[in-house]
Structure 1
Amino acid sequence: MTDKLDIDVRDNPERSRYEAVHDGEVIGFAEYDKTEDVVVFTHTVVDSGYEGKGVAGQLVRFALDAVRDEGTREVVPQCSYVKGWIAKHPDYIPLVYGQAKPAAD
């Protein structure tokens, strides 16, 4: 992996996706379907010219943090990238639908 690229990530609910933006251009996205209870991440794409620069990881972290901060839904990671990213970042496993939640203090 090369240097991490500085991007902005935003939710674009009209297109049902989180978008990675660099220099005003969308260079990647994570598509989702939302229900009352879950956010299903279906597909993640990064433009080939930006692969290996940490775009997908930043994008997925932002999206999962947004779900966690909202606090009302769980995540269904159908996308293989999102599924693999969560496996490498176990602190996000409690967000996954059907996974054990930590005990309340």
Structure 2
Amino acid sequence: MKENALMERREEWELRGLRPRQLVRCVVAGHRDRFGIDVRIISPIVPNPWAFVDFVLLAERGVQVTPADFPATGAEIKAVTVDIMPDGELRLDARPSSVQEIEAL
């Protein structure tokens, strides 16, 4: 059972043309109220470019983030792929330390 679940997860990532902990460039498509930002991945080119960054993954731990702090719609940001939610939504981490960690590899 566990092996099947791992295979399904791997297939989900492959279908998206991405892998976990991959650096991506995005354009902010909009704000989802106080919960975070919707983005469109512009690099790499992928079949489904839509993703979400939760507000807690926009700044370093301990830094309070409000909608006023969200990047503006149209702004380009870097982020790291984190997870694919059960509903199929791709989640990203845009904290500077996470991006720097992947860039340093």
- The TM-score with structure 2 as length reference comes to 0.27
Greater relative CO, 1 or 2 (CA 8 Å, sep 6+) = 2
- The TM-score with structure 1 as length reference comes to 0.27
In proportion to residue count, which structure has more helix?
1
